[in-house]
Amino acid sequence: MSRSAGRNFRSGQIGAHFDFAACGITMRGAQIAKPSSYGGAANSRITQRWCRYHVDRNSIWLHCARPREGSVFSLTENSQMNRKIASIPVAILSALAVLLPHPAVSASAPDLTFPLRWEYPEEHFLSTQQFYKLYPNAIVVDSRTDLEWEALRVKGARLDSVDHVNRQMQYTFDSNLRQIESGNPGYRRPTIFYCNGTLCPKSYQATLKAIKMGVKNVYEYDSGILPWAMAHPAHTMAFGKPLTEGRLIPHKEFLAHTLSPKSFDMLLKTKPCHCFILDIRDFVTRDINLYPGREHYVSLDDPKRFDYFLNRAMREHRTLFIYDAVGKETPFVQYYLKQRNIHHYWFLRGGEAAWIKQGG
């Protein structure tokens, strides 16, 4: 077994040895936390990746998410990335099933509707109704990118993302937040952070960072912008104008422009592609290139660069192939493409996470 292999993969006094390194995962001293309805939770002390596992009939899976802050490793983003550890003979799996803790429902079990909440016990979470009650007097902070903020946002929301980098390559969250809070003496007004939804870590990270900065009366609305927009269109802005009925893109229209990883690959690999492949993952979440030498990295915090490729695609009659981390940013890109009257494009359904899950 490699020195980098995961050893003592366990819960309580129950132990099992498993060679993660042989399966392409480097984790040292990984320990499984208390059983929950979601499976287990592994904290790699070296790589600082947080993972949960589950066992199915012939495989073990790790569900990995970006650590709360600061790691160079990026099985990430909203990643909750499902990584298949190995296909294992049923006999071995049967033995492991005895050794590994079985899921059990408990009072402390994570809410599967909000799978990232368990990582942020310090935070206070709001439902859409609770957010609406606080909204008139709240400072609302959008934790997403420039382009997503422009496409659809809570009316009056300020833009301040934890991973936004200015032209001097400096992270600007702290200074922006201090400026926002300068008009909130004594923190009498609540500050509410939001993102794209339950798998977007940015608002969780921003809320935690605000708490560590000493900001009081801080909340996290982790349902995301779309539930808010559907419930309160009058308090939602789309491209600088109040959202009106019918302006939300139906989910079926979004799905009509998505491809499974297999189909996405097939179109790109089986014939010469008169296209642009655009990687829109965040700067800090990019780990592997899905199509090395062929793709272009386009940050959604840089609309000018994005427009450059859109303009070329229209002028040269190219099809756009666009992917993100887990398929949660592309719906907002679709608003932008629709605004630009662009019709020839495909999104990778489920993003990089789905691509890796199906074997890359």
Q: Is pLDDT above 90 for 75?
A: no
d(CA 270, CA 260): 15
Q: Average pLDDT, stretch 135-158? A: 93
Please check whether the two domains, 120-242 and 251-357, share a CATH topology: yes
- Select 120-242's CATH number: 3.40.50.880, 3.20.20.80, 3.40.250.10, 3.40.190.10: 3.40.250.10
d(CA 137, CA 188): 9
d(CA 268, CA 279): 14
User: Who has greater pLDDT, 23 or 125?
Assistant: 125
SS3 state at 95: helix
Domain ranges of the chain: 9-108, 120-242, 251-357
Choose the weakest-confidence range: 67-76, 85-94, 217-226: 67-76
Question: pTM of the prediction?
Answer: 0.66
Q: Given this model, what pLDDT does residue 110 score?
A: 52
pLDDT tens sequence across 157-175: 998 877 655 444 446 778 8
Q: Among positive and negative, which fits the CA dihedral 226, 108, 36, 48?
A: positive
Residue ranges of alpha helices (H) inside the chain are 90-99, 128-134, 146-151, 173-181, 202-212, 225-231, 251-255, 261-269, 303-315, 330-339, 351-357
In CATH, what class is 251-357?
alpha beta
Q: Average pLDDT, stretch 79-85? A: 37
